Amino acid sequence: MVIPIIGARDYIEPRGYFIYPCPSCKVDRVFSVYDTKRKLTLYFIPTLNVRSQHVMECTTCHNRWGIPDGERDAVMQRLRSQEQIAEELQRRQAAAIPPQPPRQRTYYQVLQVDQEAERDVIEAAFRRLAMKYHPDRAPGPVAAAKMREILQARDILLDEVKRAEYDRSLGIVRRVEAIRPEEV
pLDDT, tens digit, 9 for 90 and up, residues 103-157: 688 999 999 999 989 999 999 999 999 998 888 888 777 888 899 999 999 999 9
In angstroms, the CA 23 to CA 145 distance is: 57
Q: In 3-state terms, what secondary structure has residue 30?
A: strand
Structural domain harbouring 80: 5-96
Q: Which of 47-56, 99-108, 133-142, 164-173 is the least confident region?
A: 47-56
Report residue 152 CA to chain centroid gap. Answer: 35
**121: enclosing H helix or E strand:** helix 119-133
The domain total for the chain is 2
Q: What is the pLDDT of residue 156?
A: 94
Residue 76 sits in the same domain as residue 15: yes
Residue 35 sits in the same domain as residue 82: yes
Residue 10 sits in the same domain as residue 92: yes
Looking at the domain assignment, is residue 175 inside a domain? Answer: no
